[in-house]
Structure 1
Amino acid sequence: MYAAVTLFVFMCLTATTHADHHQPCHSPNMTGFMSVTNLKGEVKAYGAFTYDSMGKKLRFRSNESYPTNTSVGLELLMFFDEGIFYEIDSKNQSCEKKTLHCTLHPLDIPDDATFNVMVNSGSPTIEGEGLKVNVWTGSMADSKGHYSMFVTMGCLPVTTVYFCESTSFIFSTMDVELEIKDPDLLVVPSYCLGLPVEETPEGTVNSFLNEFM
C-alpha cells in the first residue's frame, strides 16, 4: 500500500502542466480527525483536530485509545501567526510554551506551493466512486525536503506527504466538518497562561511536523 502511495506521488511530481493560472487556495475552518503514518506503515499518531483558517490556529489531540505508544498524550495548540505553540498535558494540567520556527502544516496550502496536476482518484465515470483532487508541491527549506498535497476542488486537504532527509510522513484527514465545533479548544488553557517561552536547544527546529519525528 505504502509503496503504491509513494509511486503515485512521484508520478504526480514528474507530471507536466501548463496551468500557470492556478493559485494556492486556503482551507476553510475545519473539525475532523487526522492520522500520521510513515512510509513503513507505522502509525505515529491518530487524533482529533480543530483548525481556524482565519486565525491560523490549530489544536491536535491524539486519541489515547488508539493502539500506538508513540503519540499517547500528545496535545498541541499552534498559533502560526504569533510563532508560538503549546505542548499541553490536560491530565496533569501543565504545558510548555515554545517558539514555532516553521509554520508549514498539512491543513493549508503554502502561498509558494506549485500546482502540479489534477488527478481523479477512483472512477470519474461512476457516481460516488471518484474524487477529483489538485496536487500541490513545494520544498521544505528547514529540512531540505519536499512535500505533495492532495487537495479537493473545495480546498480540503485529503492527504499530504512530506519527504524529509531522515524519514517521510503521510498526513491524512477524515470525517471533516466545515466548522469549528468547539471554539474553546483554540483558547490557551488557564493553567498555561503567563508561562515564559522556553529556550530552544541549538540546532532544534520547532514545527508541527517535527512533533512526530
Structure 2
Amino acid sequence: MRLGLFLPSRTLLCDSHRTRKMYAAVTLFVFMCLTATTHADHHHQPCHAPNMTGFMSVISLKGEMKAYGAFTYDSMGKKLRFRSNESHPSNTSLGLDLLMFFDDGVFYEIDSKNQSCEKKALQCTQHPLDIPDDATFVATVNCGSPSIEGEGLKANVWTGTMSDKKGHYSMSVTMGCLPVCTLYFQESSSFIISLTEVEIEIKDPDLLTVPTFCLGQPLEETPEGTVHSFLNEFM
C-alpha cells in the first residue's frame, strides 16, 4: 500500500529555482491545512504509526532545504534509518546516514563510503514519526475538498512541547495514523518535516541492522551540554 503525500519525489529533480518554489509551496500548503475548517474533539488518544518506508524532507521555515532522503521505520522495535542527500543530492542539504535505536538509547552515524561509523548515546527519543504520549489533540482538519472524492485529506493535529521545553511542535497525521508533516518551533531554529511516497512496510530489514564494520564500535563520550537526538541533527 502506498500513500503519496504532498508533492511526488520526482519534482526534486528540477533545477534549483523550481526546487525552491516547491519547498515554498509545501510550507504554504501546510499552513493552509492548519488554518482550514476544524472540528475539535477532546476525546482523542495519541495513536502510534505503523511500520513505514518512504521519503522525508526537512525544510527550514526560511525556505532552506536542510535534508531530503529515504527513511525506514520499525514501529514495534523503535528503530529508524534515515539516509539523506543520496537520491537527490543538493549543496544545501545535509549528508546524513543515521541508524537510531530509541529503546536502547544509542545511534550510529554511518559512512558507508569509507566503511566507518560513530556510535553515540541518544539522550532524547523524540522524532517526527510517532505522536508523543503526552501530546495534546487540537482538532481534525480537512485540507482541500472533503465532498469531492480524491480531492481532500482529513488529518488530526496534535501539539506539545519539545523535550527541552524550549520549543513546541504541531504534528498532522492521517486518520490511519500516518504522519503527514510536523512543524517544530524554537527561537534558534524552526523547521518542517514532511513525508512522501509512504508505504506501510519495511521493504529492506537489513537497513535496520548495524553494519558489520560498525560492530564492536565503542560508545563515544558525550561532551557536557550536548544533547544527541534525531531532531538535533537539524538544529
- Which TM-score applies when normalising by structure 2? 0.83
| Pairing partner for 2:109 from 84, 87, 95 | 87
Identity of aligned residues (%): 75
Could you say what secondary structure the match of 1:97 adopts? strand
Aligned residues: 209
Question: Is residue 211 from structure 1 mapped to residue 211 from structure 2 by the alignment?
Answer: no
Deviation per CA, 1:61-95: give whole Å up to 9, x if none. Answer: 01335342344531000000011000000110100
> Secondary structure at the residue paired with 1:185?
helix
Residue deviations 1:95-126 (CA, integer Å, cap 9, x gap): 00001011110100011111000000111111
Check 1:207–1:94 CA distance in 2 against 1; reply closer, same or farther (3 A cut). same
* Counterpart contact for 2:64–2:92, Cα < 8 Å: no
Instruction: Specify the SS of the correspondent of 1:118.
Output: strand
Q: Which residue of 1 aligns with 2:79?
A: 57
RMSD: 1.8
Identify the match of residue 148 of structure 1 among 144, 148, 170. 170
SS in 1 for 2:183: strand
> Matched residues in 2 for 1:51 and 1:192: separation?
20
Question: Is 2:161 aligned against 1:139?
Answer: yes
What TM-score do the two structures reach when normalised by structure 1?
0.92
2:194 alignment partner in structure 1: 172
Distance in 1, Cα, partners of 2:87 & 2:201: 25
Q: Are the equivalent residues in 2 in contact too, given 1:57–1:186 (CA < 8 A)?
A: yes
CA contact (8 A) 2:33 2:143 kept: no
Q: 2:175 matched to 1:162?
A: no
Structure 2: 5+ residue runs without aligned partners? Answer: 1-23
Unaligned runs of 5+ in 1: none
Is the Cα–Cα contact under 8 Å of residues 45 and 71 in structure 1 kept in the other structure? yes
Say which SS state the counterpart of residue 211 (structure 1) adopts: helix
Corresponding letter in the other structure for 1:133:
A
Which 4+ runs in 1 deviate beyond 4 A? 3-9
- Given that residues 31 and 50 in structure 1 are in contact (C-alpha distance below 8 angstroms), is that contact kept between their aligned partners in structure 2? yes
The one-letter code of the counterpart of 2:45 is Q
